[in-house]
Structure 1
Amino acid sequence: MWLLLSAVLAWAGGWRTLARHYPARAPGADRTIRGASASVGSPPLPVNYNNCLTVRVTEAGVEISVWPMFRFQHPPVFIPWSELEACEPGRRWLLYVVQILPRQGPPVMFRGRAARAVLAGWEAWGPRTAAA
């Protein structure tokens, strides 16, 4: 039952689409956040990954992986900064969030420490938009 639920969540939120387009290949992390939270997918029903992600921010992009006990059908993904259409900070209720919009795949909204690290990595890389 656990494996079935994990597979359904990977499909419903779009994790499998992200993994297909952005397989993990991060060489090393400038910053690693364990126990991170994010949502994957578009409203009204994104899949929330609360306190079960490891987020690695590098000079080249951001790697996201699910903790091993939840990893079935959730291979790690690495999204290069150059593949982002936008990286937008904001607030949802009382939480600080940053939403990234990959060119291929669903949006990913990071919360808390992971949001700050992703935004710092994006800004260090130098924000570029599709219009630039």
Structure 2
Amino acid sequence: MHPVVPWLPLLFLPVFGAFWCLVVFMISRMGWSRLAGAYAVADVPATVNRQLLSYLRIGPVKYNNAVRAGITPQGVWLTTWKIFYIGHPPLFIPWAAFGPVQVETFLWATTYASHIDCQGESVSFRFTSKQLLEALPASIRGAE
């Protein structure tokens, strides 16, 4: 038997970890990192009560049950699970950055689509949270 073969299984964890970090980082480049360029924060205040978003799409990436939102009168705080932290810093997006919300219904599912202004470009933002919709200013919310 070759002397390297017994050590080969021990390489699995570091190789898998490096691959995971690469994949998570590449996913962040599709939308979250554009938002982070304008809205990244060091940390979310402990006083902000956060809830898990069952459906969230930023750009082309779905973050179903992987993002927590803290809704405040000033805006929304977004954080991911720790395993997705690479390339996903916490965000604080003020309500003024949101564009008009469009309601889309397909069968029994209702989603809300908006765009977030991010340094001259626009990032697609879709969600299903009624609490998030109700927190948006009425001028942005539109008619349901």
| 1:98-113 equivalent positions in 2, closer than 5 A | 98-104=112-118, 105-111=122-128
Q: Which has the higher contact order (CA 8 A, sep 6+)?
A: 1
Structure 2 Cα separation of the partners of residues 71 and 93 of structure 1: 34
The match for 1:65 among 72, 75, 79 is 79
Could you tell me the TM-score, scaled by structure 1's length?
Answer: 0.77
Paired residue secondary structure (2:93): strand
Structure 2 Cα separation of the partners of residues 99 and 32 of structure 1: 21
Compute the displacement of 1:92 (Å). Answer: 4.2
Tell me the equivalent position of 1:11.
29
Q: Unaligned 5+ residue runs, structure 1? A: none
Compute the displacement of 1:48 (Å). Answer: 0.7
- Taking every aligned residue pair, what percent have the same amino acid on both sides? 24
Structure 2 Cα separation of the partners of residues 88 and 102 of structure 1: 13
Compute the displacement of 1:33 (Å). Answer: 1.5
Larger Cα Rg: Structure 1 or Structure 2?
2
Could you tell me the TM-score, scaled by structure 2's length?
Answer: 0.71
Q: Look up the equivalent residue of 2:94 and give its one-letter code.
A: P
2:20 is the counterpart of 1:2:
yes
The match for 1:82 among 93, 96, 103 is 96
Tell me the equivalent position of 2:139.
127
Q: Look up the equivalent residue of 2:27 and give its one-letter code.
A: L
Q: Unaligned 5+ residue runs, structure 2? A: 1-18
Q: 1:107 to 1:35 in 2, by over 3 A?
A: closer
Structure 2 Cα separation of the partners of residues 109 and 103 of structure 1: 14
Structure 2 Cα separation of the partners of residues 63 and 80 of structure 1: 9
Q: Answer whether contact 1:63 1:78 (CA < 8 A) is retained.
A: yes
Q: Which stretch shows the higher mean deviation, 64-73 or 19-28?
A: 19-28
Structure 2 Cα separation of the partners of residues 19 and 38 of structure 1: 16
Please provide the CA RMSD for this pair: 2.2
2:58 is the counterpart of 1:40:
yes
Tell me the equivalent position of 1:53.
67
Compute the displacement of 1:97 (Å). Answer: 1.4
Q: Answer whether contact 2:78 2:90 (CA < 8 A) is retained.
A: yes
Aligned residues: 118
